[in-house]
Amino acid sequence: MDERYFPDQVETEVQQFWEQNGSFRVAEDPDKEKFYCLSMFPYPSGRLHMGHVRNYTIGDVISRYQRMRGKNVLQPMGWDAFGLPAENAAIQNQVPAAKWTYENIDYMRTQLKRMGFAYDWHREIATCHPEYYRWEQWLLTRLFEKGLMYKRMAEVNWDPVEQTVLANEQVDSEGRGWRSGALVERREIPHWFLKITDYAEELLDEIDNLDGWPDEVRKMQRDWIGRSEGLEVDFSVEGSDSPLRIYTTRPDTLFGVTFMAVAAAHPLALEAAKDNFELARFIDECRRGGTSEAALETMEKRGMRIARNAVNPLNGEAVPIFAANYVLMSYGTGAIMGVPGHDFRDHDFARENSLEIREVVAPADGSEIDVQQEAFVSYDIVTVNSGDFSGLSFKDAFDRLGEWVEARGIGTRTVRYRLRDWGISRQRYWGCPVPMIHCERCGEVPVPESDLPVVLPEDVAHVGHGSPLTRMPEFLNTTCPACGGKAQRETDTLDTFVESSWYYARFACARNDQSMLDERADYWLPVDQYVGGIEHAVLHLLYARFFHKLMRDAGLIQSDEPFKNLLTQGMVVAETFYREKNGKTTYFAPADVEMSHDAKGKVTGAKLNTDGKPVEVGRVEKMSKSKNNGVDPQAMIDRYGADTVRLYMMFTSPPDQKLEWSDAAVEGAFRFLKKLWKLVHAHVREKTPPTIDTDALDDAQQTLRRKIHETIAKVSDDVGRRYTFNTAIAAVMELVNALAKSDDASPAGRALMQEGLDAVVLLLAPIVPHTSHVLWRELGHESAIIDERWPVAEEAAMERDAIDLVVQVNGKLRGHIQVSKSADRKTIETEALENPNVQRFVEGKAIRKLIVVPGKLVNVVV
């Protein structure tokens, strides 16, 4: 064994060992408890970034730990390979999207292998392969036949200059297109939808059962689905036969309606605009800007009167109708009732338009409010100024008004969801073709199973904008499967969230070319541990849950939910460095900047290496191209090896918090591995120690042995239950420090060193698998460490005779005492009061109370 630690050498050797032994290839084994650990698969953008490295290290540590616990562990990897960046690269560099994607996959695969992740590569999936997406197309045709997929109009961002549809990301905060700079318009085009709303209730109810998920993710999903109970009510419109239907969750405020608002695109508004030029112009202006909810909610609320009134059915009052930019045709009924006294947005709108603000509910506790100043929105109310419905609680008002409108046939009590059906159409090229055919005679016809897959042509020319599929007659023209006549293929492709909604199931039988899934899916599913970024808390995770139920109801699998346990990891962030010149900001890479410190280590400034002149130290932000603050993991791996990068990632913060990059701290992780290596080297240089005689240890040896077993217990709990790998590593570091300090050369001392180092190497095996593999062999073991069992702490070794207690006076720490493990309360109290420093603070004062917290502290209240 060399005294020095050469990570490259170690890692190459160990990775070869795994490769040659097929160490991570798994098959179904009914005799073993299975454990399916999955990390969210990457988009093949070109190179692994730090977020990937963090994500996959967490998943790998959990996988390796579970393997050491004796489980049959599946950990697969694949590529979320369709998407916008490939198309952008294709247009920019004139390189086919397919070629760009496959080359990226090849490079990133070597990077993942270099990190030593324990993947079963035989199950690798790329979603852009027809072998993968054919099954997705197959399922969609089934869903169409079941009525779960349908077509209707939907709004998109339309760039009037580029004549193309833009993603929300491509529209800036001012509502302009990212390349053209033109004001974007909302435009309606036909779209395919999946009926996720049919599953709203089940998706909501089952959140209660997801106890392995973080609470915040469950909260966000509940809110996203947004179940509400309310009342639909018809307001008649003067001079019209068709009433205006609205939905409200606050029927108790119906008597406070002083206006109505409809979407600018509402038929009522459009009709009124015919002979009102100003209104027509307003409606036109309302179409400007992006479609994202954030854009709609933050824009200035504007409205214009329509020359008609609506009539409140409760009190027969006529109220003005407005066309408003904040009411959307595609949400709800496209019309709302305005109650300025009891809704913030309506309050703002009423003030701007000088409308009446009326108080119709008052605080149940009788306190004073002034709705002219601020809307009162509490549910803890009593109705006032509401005719026969005055004096009621929220619930009573809700029930009585519900009965009232239902009896008259002008409304119904309704349960509604905020969740909307999932629009899956994209007017883009690099995606899975929607397996539908449009026939003039037969309408929308699904592609028959025998004609699947509809293969996306990979060799295409990207000229200008929009999808090249629409300009390819050989793709476009086909025959109708129903009548045999001329027909056209759908040229829209699918939202890439569709592919990522079921890949976790396909890993169970990735090479099956006969069916989408088979019985192996039921062996492996649900995923026992899913690991990925918190940014997926709602969309991806909700769509995957939805797809799981779709596949269940198609008879493909039996479980109800895809992911048993979920770990959401935080972002990787880093400092930014910049200079401002003529109002333009230039960012500099952290690698090119040197920091200066004062005598206490506080940062005093930074300068650029190339010109030696100062740069500004900016905020800590998510690593990104635009801020130039990314650190390439590859450079770190080349310099320190995969184990150091893995150790650093896991040590520097808990997985669910953000991770702030620091070059210096990576150096620290490397130092620790070197130290451990040297410690093992120094130990194995001597002859093999005898087996330990635990009854013959002196006090110091017993203390060290207790430390060994306490560390095993702590690390097992931190890794297995808490997922706080940072504290697990800190505990191992403490143990290594204790072992390094021990200079006990006696046989028992040497035996203890062996026991301690064995434990350290086993506990670190999931985190630094290469180094552990080699050190385990050096410590005299024949087996490969990946086949070893996780160590178990010995209770007897952890027993203590005496415990340390803290003594407080009035809650302030004043002394420490040591008492026997079996000491009773009386003895503890006496000991505590005899402590000299405690006496100083108690002297001359009356003891009011003595609080003894067993095993922890004594608090003397004087």
539 lines the binding site for RNA (CB under 7 A)? yes
Which residue among 185, 232, 495, 643 contacts RNA (CB under 7 A)?
495
- Sequence-ordered alpha helix ranges (H) in 570-662: 633-640, 642-652
How far CA 289 is from CA of 163, 185, 273, 279, in Å, comes to: 15, 6, 21, 18
Nearest to 165 by CA among 153, 177, 173, 175: 177
Residue corresponding to tokens 């993942």? 112
Segment 28-47, which members bind RNA (CB under 7 A)? 43
Using CB under 7 A as the binding criterion, the count of chain residues that bind RNA stands at 110
Q: In the complex with RNA, which residue's Cβ is closer, 133 or 389?
A: 133
The CA distance from 856 to 862, in Å, is 20
Integer Cα distance of 495 and 531 in angstroms: 22
496 forms part of the interface with RNA (CB under 7 A):
yes
Can you read off the two tokens belonging to residue 258?
């002083």
CB of 130 or CB of 533, closer to RNA: 533
**Inter-residue contact 426 to 493 (CB < 8 Å):** yes
Residues numbered 315 to 344 that lie near RNA (CB under 7 A) are: 344
Q: Which of 363, 391, 811, 854 binds RNA (CB under 7 A)?
A: 811
Stretch that binds RNA, among 258-266, 507-515, 684-692, 854-862 (CB under 7 A): 854-862
Which of 8, 804, 824, 834 touches RNA by CB under 7 A? 804
Q: Is the link from the previous residue into 453 a cis peptide, with omega within 30 of 0?
A: yes
Task: Please give the radius of gyration of the chain, using alpha carbons only, rounded to the nearest integer.
Answer: 34
Residue 465 or 777: the one with the smaller Cβ distance to RNA is 465
Least CB distance from residue 290 to RNA, whole Å? 8
Residues 435-494 binding RNA (CB under 7 A) are none
C-alpha 233: how far from its chain's center? 38
Positions 818 through 847 that interact with RNA (CB under 7 A): 837, 841
The nearer residue to RNA, 268 or 537, going by C-beta atoms, is 537
CA 838 → CA 823, 844, 849, 850, distances in Å?
20, 12, 14, 13
Site string for RNA, 627-656 (x = CB under 7 A): ------------------------xxxx--
Q: Does 659 bind RNA (CB under 7 A)?
A: yes
Which one of 20-28, 230-238, 665-673, 779-787 is the stretch in contact with RNA (CB under 7 A)? 665-673
Q: What does the block give as tokens for 518?
A: 């088979």
Q: Where in 581-600 is the site for RNA (CB under 7 A)?
A: 597, 599-600
Nearer to RNA, 621 or 794 (CB): 621
User: Binder to RNA among 102, 389, 398, 422 (CB under 7 A)?
Assistant: 422
**Which residues have C-beta within 8 Å of that of residue 666, sequence separation ≥ 6?**
636, 640, 644, 645, 648
Tell me the closest approach of the beta carbon of residue 31 to RNA, in angstroms.
33
Answer for the pair 814, 838: CB distance below 8 angstroms, yes or no.
yes
Footprint (CB under 7 A) of RNA, residues 294-313:
294, 297-298
Tell the smallest beta-carbon distance from residue 570 to RNA (Å): 8
Least distance between RNA and beta carbon 559 (Å): 24
- Closer to RNA by Cβ: residue 10 or 573: 573
Nearer to RNA, 555 or 836 (CB): 836
Task: Determine which residue in the list 63, 291, 353, 529 makes contact with RNA, applying CB under 7 A.
Answer: 291
Q: Are strands 361-363 and 318-324 parallel, antiparallel or unpaired?
A: unpaired
73 to 92: interface string for RNA, x by CB under 7 A? -------x-xxxx-------
Task: Measure the CA angle with vertex 802, ends 798 and 807; round to 5°.
Answer: 120
CB of 300 to RNA, least distance (A): 11
Minimum distance from residue 564 beta carbon to RNA (Å): 20
SS (H, E, C) 51-110: HHHHHHHHHHHHHHHHHHCCCEEECCCEECCCCHHHHHHHHHHCCCHHHHHHHHHHHHHH
Beta bridge partners of 229: 415
Torsion of CA 52, 58, 63, 66, to 10 degrees: -170
Interface residue with RNA among 378, 414, 657, 746 (CB under 7 A) is 657
Site stretch for RNA (CB under 7 A), options 332-340, 601-609, 750-758, 789-797: 601-609
- Cβ proximity to RNA, 326 vs 588, nearer residue: 326
Q: Is 464 left (phi over 0), alpha (psi -120 to 50) or beta?
A: left
Rounded to the nearest 5 degrees, what angle is found at the Cα of 531, between the Cα atoms of 213 and 763? 105
Q: Provide, rounded to whole angstroms, the least separation between the CB of residue 44 and RNA.
A: 9
**CB neighbour list of residue 435: distance below 8 Å, 6 or more residues apart:** 137, 138, 140, 141, 446, 447, 452, 453, 454, 490
Which member of 95, 733, 819, 833 binds RNA (CB under 7 A)?
A: 733
Q: Which is closer to RNA, CB of 280 or CB of 740?
A: 740
Closest approach, Cβ 638 to RNA, in A, equals: 18
Interaction mask 126-165, RNA, x per CB under 7 A: ------------------------------xx-------x
Amino acid (one-letter) located at 685: R
User: What residues numbered 505-534 form the site for RNA, per CB under 7 A?
Assistant: 533-534
> What CA–CA distance (Å, rounded) separates 274 from 280?
7
Interface characters, 342-381, with RNA (x: CB under 7 A): --x-------------------------------------
Q: Yes or no: say if 337 and 248 are a contact pair by the CB < 8 Å rule.
A: yes
Torsion of Cα atoms, 540 then 541 then 543 then 545, to 10°: 160
Residue 72 contacts RNA per CB under 7 A: no
Cβ neighbours for 97, distance < 8 A, ≥ 6 positions apart: 86, 87, 89, 90, 429, 430, 458, 462
- Of these, 12, 111, 168, 634, which contacts RNA (CB under 7 A)? 168
Q: How far are the Cα atoms of 216, 576, 654, 815 from residue 573, in angstroms, in the given order?
A: 21, 9, 14, 42
Stretch that binds RNA, among 66-74, 669-677, 700-708, 763-771 (CB under 7 A): 669-677
Q: Interaction with RNA in 735-764: which residues (CB under 7 A)?
A: 737, 740-741
Tokens of 404: 């009232």
CB of 678 to RNA, least distance (A): 7
Report the nearest approach of RNA to the CB of residue 619 (Å): 7
Say whether residue 571 binds RNA (CB under 7 A). yes
Give the DSSP per-residue string, 266-281.
SHHHHHHHTT-HHHHH
Among 122, 511, 671, 789, binds RNA (CB under 7 A): 671
Cβ closest to RNA, residue 664 vs residue 846: 664
The verdict on 682 binding RNA (CB under 7 A) reads no
Q: Shortest gap between Cβ of 536 and RNA (angstroms)?
A: 6
Among 617, 806, 819, 833, binds RNA (CB under 7 A): 806
Site for RNA (CB under 7 A): which residue of 812, 822, 826, 843? 812
Of positions 203, 310, 419, 765, contacts RNA by CB under 7 A: 419
* Closer by beta carbon to RNA, 170 or else 386: 170
3-state secondary structure (DSSP) of residue 255: helix
Residue 672, interface with RNA (CB under 7 A)?
A: yes
Backbone φ and ψ for 860, nearest 5 degrees, come out as -95, 120
**Residue 201 interacts with RNA (CB under 7 A): yes or no:** no
Rule CB under 7 A: is residue 708 a binding residue for RNA?
A: no
Element (H, E) at 670: helix 663-685
Minimum CB separation from RNA for residue 649, in Å?
Answer: 10
- Contact call for residues 642 and 115 (beta carbons, < 8 A): yes
Give the single-character DSSP code of 722: I
The alpha carbon dihedral of 462, 464, 469, 474 has a sign of negative
